[in-house]
Amino acid sequence: MKRTIIEVRDLKKVFHVGEITVHALKGINLEIKEGEFVAIMGTSGSGKSTMLNVLGCLDKPTSGSYHLDGISMGELSKNELAGLRNSKLGFVFQSYNLLSRTSALENVELPLFYNSKVRPKERRERAEAALEAVGLTDRMHHMPNQLSGGQQQRVAIARSLVNDPVVILADEATGNLDTRTSYEIMALLQDLNSKGKTIVFVTHEPDIAKFMTRQVVFRDGHIIREEYVTERNNAIELLKSLPVEELV
Amino acid sequence: MNYTNSVKIALSALKRNKFRAFLTMLGIIIGVASVIVMLAIGQGSKKSIQDQMSGMGTNLIFAMPGAEQKGGVRMGNSDAKNLKLTDIEAIERNCPAISDVSPEVRSSGQAVVGNQNWPTTIYGVNTKYFNIRKYTIGSGRGFSESEIQSYAKVCLVGQTIVENLFGKTDPIGQTIRYKNIPLLIIGVLGEKGENGMGQDQDDLIMAPYTTVQKRILAITHIQSIAASAASEELNDAAITQITESLRSSHKLKAGEEDDFQVRSQAEMVQMFSSISDIMTALLGAISGISLLVGGIGIMNIMYVSVTERTREIGLRLSVGGRGNDILMQFLIESILLSVFGGVIGISLGILATQITASIMSWPVVISVFSVVMAFLVCSAIGIFFGWYPARKAAGLNPIDALRYE
């Protein structure tokens, strides 16, 4: 029996925008086990971003329960949530969100700065190991503007890995990338997943969702479809089938 | 979260924007430097006034005729003739706190030697006057008691007189004519330079007071009394004793106003010190305003910086930074800016002070107090003006901050 990483029960989220009340999530039940690679899909306004914010402990649900790695987030204070994000979660964003004029290595070190238990020497070693895991050992001291989009996203993935989180939350992580680079990123994520990392990946692209083990589709605040992917794509094989572009 | 990490984060954030950090600091640098320079100049002028005043003798006491009343009508001070030689004798008898006392009579006019003339003042004094006013005899000799008794036509001259009327020749033994009275020069006074108010203290002739009284002014009263207290500590006692002595010799009843004024050099020093204190405070206040403007500059930049770095703040929050961590980062950034600026400003201020001192030859005093104060004010500015932008940054919602465009 695998460990349950995410357990959501009857989760509701209501926003009040002026006099209008928006029911963004209307009673979500979701369970994600260790080692899963889950796609959260849906059109804009379906509630998937709200769901990701709640899963990422950035936002609190209006009602319902959410357990992350066995910890109920309902009773936690703002600071305890920050601590949870620091120790249990890794974020990958669509626009990378790297600090400009800051080397790849220092960008990756960032989450560990907020963990007072990690000494400077260990911080450096862990950041180097994370960059090695995403294949950027030779780019450690480059600034973000000296890196391609794909490389920047790899740095962001290394940053999400550095604190050894129980789950990586990716928000449209391939949204800004071309097909080949997207597949390269997916290959990296599949590789991490095969080594046991749990990943939740928000996307609206069905072909990207095919790289994952399970798809959860949102519409109007409900989960309308939930299924395991039967014909899962392998990113490395797909990369081989792409027409070879000339390297400049 | 420990403070070392906060400082490291703030430092690397500043390093990413070196030029802007420098521009932000510039306001503080200029403010602090000007505070240091202004206070140094203010305190320097105070000190030089004090030094020059005490060069005249801090235990110097003057008595001058004061408001005289005749049948209810107050007479002007300058015409009063109520100080007499008997007052001097009384002071010598009655005032143990006074070591030396001398009458003083003055006259202004042209001094003539051969075909040269020069406007100057002749002082009629006794032998103790040199000691009281700290005049030395550069060459020749002073006059004697018997010369005072006999209204002898002898005098000593100051350096300015020597330069203007004699040039290179030795004045001793020569005759100088003052208001048609020929006076034999028996000595030259040692050079004293200017006093605190810029008066040339070497532009004078000194003669026995009897000579000036009888032969030049044709008066029997004296114009003022110069005395010196036996020591600085006895200043106040000396003033009281002189006042008592003069009141009794002028036969003033209790309740009657003094018909003379007693002034001490210490009082004058205090007065001039307080004038230059006011000047220092003014200069300090003006440069303090520029320091304040520098602080507002920091606040402005930090505020803009918070808005500009909203996404960075969102990211930091999402990777586990607490509101407090963000607060500390921005607060430390502004403190670093103002403290670095302060240190540079202090060094620059000290440098500028030295340059001012050497080019303008102004007296300057850099006090530890002004340096420490400038430094503390800088840190306070950093905290005060950094607080509001830092609070704003710490209060950001991570979701909104991450999506901020």
Q: Are B326 and B395 in contact (CB under 8 A)?
A: no
pLDDT exceeds cutoff 60 at B47 = yes
pLDDT score of B316 more than 90: yes
Q: What's the token pair of residue B22?
A: 């420098």
Asked if pLDDT for residue B48 goes beyond 80, the answer is yes
Q: Which of A200, A189, A203, A176 is nearest to A236 (CA)?
A: A189
> Is B75 a residue whose pLDDT tops 70?
no
| Residue A226 token pair | 């939930």
Where is average pLDDT lowest: B170-184, B249-263, B333-347?
Answer: B249-263
Cα separations (Å) of A194 from A126, A156, A212?
Answer: 20, 19, 11
Q: Is A11 left (phi over 0), alpha (psi -120 to 50) or beta?
A: beta
Q: Are residues B277 and B244 in the same domain?
A: no
Q: Using an 8 Å Cβ cutoff, are B212 and B239 in contact?
A: no
Please answer yes or no on whether B5 and A91 come within 8 Å at the CB atom: no
Residues of B in contact with A116 (CB under 8 A): 1-2, 5
Q: What local confidence, expressed as pLDDT, does residue B46 receive?
A: 84
In a domain, B180, yes or no: yes
Span of B27-41, B130-144, B217-231, B268-282 with lowest mean pLDDT: B268-282
Nearest CB to A114; choose among B17, B311, B321: B321
Among B12, B319, B321, whose Cβ lies nearest the Cβ of A91? B319
Number of residue pairs across A and B with CB atoms under 8 Å? 68
In a domain, B34, yes or no: yes
pLDDT value of residue B76: 58
Question: Buried b vs exposed e over B262-286: b needs ≥16 C-beta within 10 Å?
Answer: bebbbebbeebbeebeebbeebbee
Tokens read off for B112: 């003539």
Q: Which residue has the higher pLDDT, B340 or B267?
A: B340
Do residue B281 and residue B179 come from a single domain?
no
Contact between chains at B5 and A116 (C-beta distance less than 8 A): yes
Tell me the C-alpha distance between A12 and A14, whole Å. 7
B305 near B16, Cβ under 8 Å? no
Adjacent-strand bridge partners of B176: B183
Delimit the domains of chain A by residue range.
Answer: 35-57+88-241
B295-304 per-position pLDDT tens digit: 888 889 888 9
DSSP labels, B351-372: HHHHHHHHHH-------HHHHH
Q: Band the pLDDT of B71: cuts 50, 70, 90.
A: low
Residue in B311, B318, B323 closest to A91 by CB: B318
Residues B253 and B275 in one domain: no
Chain B residues whose beta carbon lies within 8 Å of the beta carbon of residue A85: 318-320
Instruction: Decide: A27 and A90 in contact? Cβ < 8 Å.
Output: no
Judge if B132 and B243 occupy the same domain: yes
Q: Do β-strands B175-178 and B181-189 pair in parallel, antiparallel, or remain unpaired?
A: antiparallel
| Chain A residues within 8 A of B311 when measuring between CB atoms | 97
Q: Is residue B82 predicted with pLDDT exceeding 90?
A: no
* pLDDT (0 to 100) of residue B258: 83
**Separation in Å, CA of B397 to nearest CA in chain A:** 8
Residue of B nearest to A160 (CA): B319
Residue B317 has pLDDT above 90, yes or no: yes
B150 shares a domain with B103: yes
Among candidate residues B213, B230, B258, the one where a domain is terminated = B258
Contact A106/B12, CB-based, under 8 Å? Answer: yes
Contact A46, A218 (CB under 8 A): yes
Q: Is B178 helix (H, G, I), strand (E, B) or coil?
A: strand
Q: Is A210 left (phi over 0), alpha (psi -120 to 50) or beta?
A: alpha
pLDDT at residue A83, as a whole number: 92
Residue B162 near residue B155 (C-beta atoms within 8 A) = no
Query: Given a cut of 70, is residue B29 above it in pLDDT?
Result: yes
Single-letter residue type at A114: Y
pLDDT attached to residue B150? 93
Comparing A242-246, B70-74, B171-175, B200-204, which segment has the lowest mean pLDDT?
B70-74
Structural domain including B115 reads: 83-258
pLDDT-derived band at B52, boundaries 50, 70, 90 = confident
In a domain? residue B58: no
When pLDDT is cut at 50, 70 and 90, the band that residue B79 belongs to is low
Give the model confidence (pLDDT) of B85-102 as tens digits: 999 999 999 899 999 999
What is the pTM assigned to this prediction? Answer: 0.73
- Chain A residues in contact with B398 (beta carbon < 8 A): 58
**Total of domains in chain B:** 2
d(CA A10, CA A30): 9
* B313 vs A contacts (CB less than 8 Å): none
Residues 6 or more apart in contact with residue A133 via CB below 8 angstroms: A158, A161, A192
Residue B44 pLDDT greater than 60, yes or no: yes
Q: Measured between alpha carbons, how far is B190 from B127 in angstroms, rounded to an integer?
A: 16
Q: Are residues B276 and B254 in the same domain?
A: no
Q: Is residue B59 part of a domain?
A: no
Query: Helices in B309-367 by DSSP H: which ranges?
Result: 310-318, 323-360
**Domain A35-57+88-241 of CATH type 3.40.50.300:** yes
Record: contact B16-A99, CB cut-off 8 A: yes
Q: Is residue B129 part of a domain?
A: yes
Query: Of B5, B41, B7, B2, whose CA–CA distance to B340 is shortest?
Result: B7
Is residue B70 one of the residues assigned to a domain?
Answer: no
Mutate to test the interface with B, among A53, A58, A119 (most CBs of B within 10 A): A58
Check residue B56 and give its pLDDT. Answer: 65
Instruction: Kindly state the DSSP code that residue A178 receives in the 8-state scheme.
Output: -
What pLDDT score does B273 carry? 81
The arithmetic mean of pLDDT across residues B81-87, rounded, is 87
User: Do B152 and B283 reside in the same domain of the chain?
Assistant: no
Answer whether residue B268 shows pLDDT above 80: no
Indicate if B139 and B245 belong to the same structural domain. yes
Which of B383, B171, B206, B401 is closest to A59 using CA atoms?
B401
Model confidence pLDDT, tens digit, residues A96-143: 999 988 999 999 999 999 998 899 999 999 999 999 999 999 999 999
Residues of chain A in Cβ contact (below 8 Å) with chain B: 53, 56, 58-59, 78-79, 82-87, 91, 93, 97, 99-102, 106, 110-111, 113-116, 159, 163
Average pLDDT of the residues in B169-190: 92
**Tens place of pLDDT per residue across chain A (248 aa):** 789 999 999 999 999 988 999 999 999 999 999 999 999 999 988 999 999 999 999 998 999 999 999 999 888 999 999 999 999 999 999 999 999 889 999 999 999 999 988 999 999 999 999 999 999 999 999 999 999 999 999 999 999 999 999 999 999 999 889 999 999 999 999 999 999 999 999 999 999 999 999 999 999 999 999 999 988 999 998 888 888 765 55
Residues B276 and B212 in one domain: no
pLDDT at B73: 64
The band of B125, judged by pLDDT with boundaries at 50, 70 and 90, is: very high
